Amino acid sequence: MNLTQYEGAVERQRQVARSWLVMVFFLAVPLTWSLPYSAQAQEPIDHGPPPRAQGNVEKEQLEERLKRLEKEVKELKGRHEQITGGMQELVAEQDRQAAEWASKFDSLRRVPLNELSGTGEKDGWIRNQYVNLDIRFGGFLQASFIHNFQDTGVLVDKFRPASFPVPTQRTTSTLMSAKSTRFIFETRKNTQYGRYSTFLSMDLFGSNDRDDYTMRGRQAYITGVSPFSGWSFLFGRAFSTMRNLQAWPDMFGREGPQAIGRWFAGMIRYSFQLDEAKHWIFTTAIEEPDTKVTNGNGEEDWPDGILRLDTNQAWGSLMIASVVRQLKATNLANSGSDKAFGYGVTASGTLGVPGTRDVIKFTGHYGSGYGGLYIMDLFEEGGQDGVYDDAKGKLRPLEVYGGYGIYEHPWTDTLRSTAGFGYVGVSNLAIQAGNSYKKTFWVLASLIYRPFKAFDMGLEYYWGQRENKDGQTGAVNRLMFSNKFYFN
């Protein structure tokens, strides 16, 4: 008997029990009121033997009926205890099934920023017992007041040092924006072939117009834990396997540090646990390619291949991943083409500071033909996988490196701060122009107040600088005040 059938049987038992209790009530009350009068009928009055014998018969009948009623009440009590025990077993079974959804694999796909975790009803899951499907809604509404003290070179709500004008343009800008608002919908279903779930998230960045709040799809995937113990898969569009979501800073800014890894990618991903303690997880994936080339047109023949290793320990977590790529491009005239090999490695993690609640988060990158897609500041710049050398007819990959460090400190249970620093650099080629991207810096300082669980408000200060190959620089300062209310 499955859980749905069991719940139906329990409900029918409860209906039978209620019917019996009602019947006993209507039978017992009149009989109880009649007992004193029956007792009076048993008093010795001088009506002779026939009336006295009739009274004895009525007494015996009442006693027999009371015995039957007592027996029926006892049976009903037993049945009620059985139903109560069944309900307790049902609740325990539901809790057990909810606990089965807790998975170490969730750390590969869930962003702590969403504050959407947990597996029970108290965590927002709604059960549809008729189709054996659970659903959950989540997300948050974020509204920000942004002031830039210099020109950012792009939309005023973005803060990417790669886009800063060089030299600095002292043009201020101000914006009120709620585009970071996010909507999330999840489902999960338990089957004889494994446990499967879907995830869909959207925000309001569907248009570059500051006043256009068109929705944009962020992630859409199906994931599951197969019937083979310790295996998990993900198919669809999700955060890149090269990004460690646990190393995301506690901040309002949607872009994160400029050295953050690739955002979203279509992928096929498999993960499995390497030990029974579930402290080590190995992942392999293929992701959609996108070659970003200067002085040429990128082409995509083969997907990027990724290997990743995660560990979660008492001291924190660590992720190491690598990617291999085929880079292919033509010159601007499409009269020649070339291929090159690209690769990259990244390491990131979290560390708890002993004796405190402080947390250190970090990410580091190194690669060749890697940064144009897998380091977001270089992705913003464009053309940073390589340079097409027309003189030699060769595609020449660019060597890149970078990373960021974050320190998170709670002052009290309701007040906390985040401080961070980021750096990205490129080893320029001689054939690159003087205004080519050389390196960027990124700094964050914040103070966030949480008066109650579902609400955050705070102030963030940003500073960033871009330096070109020729040594010229451009910098921007920003202040941002934000409010965030979580739906879940």
Question: DSSP letter string over 231-269?
Answer: EEEEEEEEE-TTS-GGG--S-S-SS--TT----EEEEEE
Give the mean model confidence (pLDDT) for residues 324-328.
97
High-pLDDT (> 70) share of the chain, %: 83
Confidence of residue 380 (pLDDT cuts 50, 70, 90): very high
Give the three-class secondary structure for 377. Answer: helix
80-133: per-residue pLDDT in tens?
877 777 666 655 655 665 566 666 778 788 887 777 777 778 888 898 888 889
246-287: per-residue pLDDT in tens?
999 999 998 899 999 999 999 999 999 888 666 899 999 999
Pairing of the two strands 316-331 and 337-352: antiparallel
**What pLDDT is stored for residue 449 in this prediction?**
98
**What pLDDT is stored for residue 42 in this prediction?**
46
High-pLDDT (> 90) share of the chain, %: 61
147-163: per-residue pLDDT in tens?
999 999 887 678 999 99
**What pLDDT is stored for residue 102 in this prediction?**
64
Say which residue, 10 or 200, is predicted with more confidence.
200
Closest CA relative to residue 180, chosen from 164, 201, 152, 196: 201
* Count of CB atoms situated within 10 Å of the CB of 79: 15
Give the three-class secondary structure for 63. Answer: helix
50-82: per-residue pLDDT in tens?
555 566 777 777 878 888 888 888 888 888 877
Give the mean model confidence (pLDDT) for residues 166-173.
92
Give the three-class secondary structure for 102. Answer: coil
Q: How far apart are CA 327 and CA 293, in angstroms?
A: 9
Pairing of the two strands 296-299 and 473-486: unpaired
Q: How far apart are CA 312 and CA 103, in angstroms?
A: 12
Say which residue, 226 or 434, is predicted with more confidence.
434
Q: What is the DSSP letter of 46?
A: S
Q: How far apart are CA 227 and CA 224, in angstroms?
A: 10
184-233: per-residue pLDDT in tens?
999 999 888 888 999 999 999 888 888 889 999 999 999 988 766 788 99
3 pLDDT higher than 80: no
Please count the residues of the chain: 488
28 pLDDT higher than 70: no
13 pLDDT higher than 70: no
Confidence of residue 355 (pLDDT cuts 50, 70, 90): very high
How is 425-448 classified by DSSP, letter by letter?
Answer: EEE--TTS-TTSEEEEEEEEEEEE
Closest CA relative to residue 107, chosen from 351, 363, 349, 409: 349
Q: Which residue has the tokens 């108290």?
A: 122
**What pLDDT is stored for residue 120 in this prediction?**
77
8 pLDDT higher than 60: no
**What pLDDT is stored for residue 206 in this prediction?**
85
